[in-house]
Amino acid sequence: MRLSQAAPEQLRELEKSLSEQYLAFQTAGLNLDLTRGKPSAEQLSLSNALDGILNGNYSDGSGTDLRNYGGLDGLPEAKQLFADMLGVQAQDILVGGNGSLPMMYFSLQTALSQGLAGKDSAWSLQGPVKFLAPVPGYDRHFTASQHLGIELIPVAMNEHGPDMDQVEALVKSDPSIKGIWCVPRFSNPTGIVYSDDVVNRMAKLGHIAGDHFRIFWDNAYAVHVLDDQAPVLANLYEACKNAGTEDSVLIFGSTSKITFAGAGVGFMAASASNLSALKDALGYSTIGPDKVNQYRHVKFLKDQATLTKHMQKHAAIMKPRFDAVLQQLKSELGDDDIASWTEPQGGYFISVDTRPGLAKQVIQLAAEAGVKLTPAGAPFPYGKDPQDSNIRIAPSFPTINDLEKATEVFITCLKLATVRQALAS
């Protein structure tokens, strides 16, 4: 039923039956969680061979003793593996510790206080620092920036990526904008893949933005496809090299959602000039990364063919979970004008947009019926969704049964809130 065409009497009846359903869920004492993009135990078990994979041999291919100090920027074989994954050269890679967030945070800190292109390039010397934040986006990007005193300017996301007209106009008009946050493939939370046109226009931002502008290209879901037809992401680093702007991009990745979340390996790709500044800064704060764990990953993931096969096993676990949510959304809401949602071909999230002004209420209703959803506004800078309409669903962690039940509750809450809003207006 399209609510906009429903008579008040119909709405009242609907509200009554939805309220009854909702009450039934409330009394069922559910305890379900759709909040975090955490891999399931089944997915994590795909990488159980990691511990013990070295078989007592703690040397890499070149004979380096992995157990001792040394090697600030990672093992050569790990660089090659992750370079192939990101479509860059091994020399462009820095391999780090157990995640990419610390590398992003460290890059922000270094750019702010020391500069990525010599002392004079430190952002903090140039007055207030601003970043563009395509929304909805990843809350950790936003909170890390804010914590370091960076002001965030939201820009709209569409199905091709950030609205590049808006992005270009903003960086042209305000040289204090020093960066933009991007999750270019299977964006968190909308799941879209940046189009070739968006990638090409990104590569040219370095020509029109203020000095020392950097794209923070968090390719967190680079290989996390749900089916073989998933759209491919154009190679930003190549495009930047062609445009002569390779200094304007920092690319991040990790195996957090390939092997173990929290015990994987983080890495980044950047130009020689950027890497040189980052390695200099790293040298003051660490003696080097965990080479033993890096080499475990080299032995386990081996090459791109092995990696692809491994990711197909993830997809076989993830796809039914996405389908469970999407099929219910379609069958329950497909003919209505209640909400819209994305149908990602990869990544970890489904993004639902309610009618304006309802996200908080839906999340509150779901919480009171025992279904936890990501807090409203989390994917927006300062936690404020101006439309109060975006809800992020993370289907990876629960069992399919729990997921189906949680989605049922969520849809009931969504309908109930929407009908109540329609009645009140």
Residues 47-86 close enough to bind its own copies by CB under 8 A: 47-48, 51-56, 58, 65-71
Is residue 317 within the footprint of its own copies (CB under 8 A)?
Answer: no
Helical axes 400-424 vs 304-333, angle rounded to 10°:
40
State the CB neighbour count (10 A cutoff) for residue 150: 21
Question: Distance between CA 362 and CA 348 in Å, rounded?
Answer: 21
Contact string 83-122 vs its own copies (x = CB under 8 A): --------------xxx-xx--xx--x-------------
Q: For residue 93, which of 280, 286, 270 has the smallest C-alpha distance?
A: 270
Nearest distance in Å: CB 138, its own copies:
12
Nearest distance in Å: CB 166, its own copies:
27
Instruction: Report phi then psi at 356, rounded to 5.
Output: -55, 140
Question: Distance between CA 75 and CA 95 in Å, rounded?
Answer: 7
- The dihedral formed by the CA atoms of 299, 304, 305 and 311, expressed in degrees to the nearest 10: 90
- Give the binding-site size for its own copies (rule: CB under 8 A): 51
From 7, 31, 41, 228, residue interacting with its own copies (rule: CB under 8 A): 41
- The dihedral formed by the CA atoms of 32, 262, 145 and 164, expressed in degrees to the nearest 10: -80
Question: Distance between CA 68 and CA 312 in Å, rounded?
Answer: 35
Contact string 144-173 vs its own copies (x = CB under 8 A): x--xx-------------------------
Contact (Cβ atoms closer than 8 angstroms) between residue 223 and residue 311: yes
Nearest distance in Å: CB 123, its own copies:
15
Taking the least distance from each CB to its own copies, the nearer of 14 and 394 is 394
- The dihedral formed by the CA atoms of 148, 71, 100 and 114, expressed in degrees to the nearest 10: 20
Nearest distance in Å: CB 110, its own copies:
11
Taking the least distance from each CB to its own copies, the nearer of 314 and 415 is 314
Contact string 271-300 vs its own copies (x = CB under 8 A): ----------x--xxxxxxxxxx--x----
Contact (Cβ atoms closer than 8 angstroms) between residue 362 and residue 29: no
Contact string 237-256 vs its own copies (x = CB under 8 A): -------------------x
- Residue 365 has which token pair? 């209703």
Nearest distance in Å: CB 148, its own copies:
8
Footprint of its own copies (CB under 8 A): 36, 38-39, 41, 44, 47-48, 51-56, 58, 65-71, 97-99, 101-102, 105-106, 109, 140, 143-144, 147-148, 256, 260-263, 281, 284-293, 296
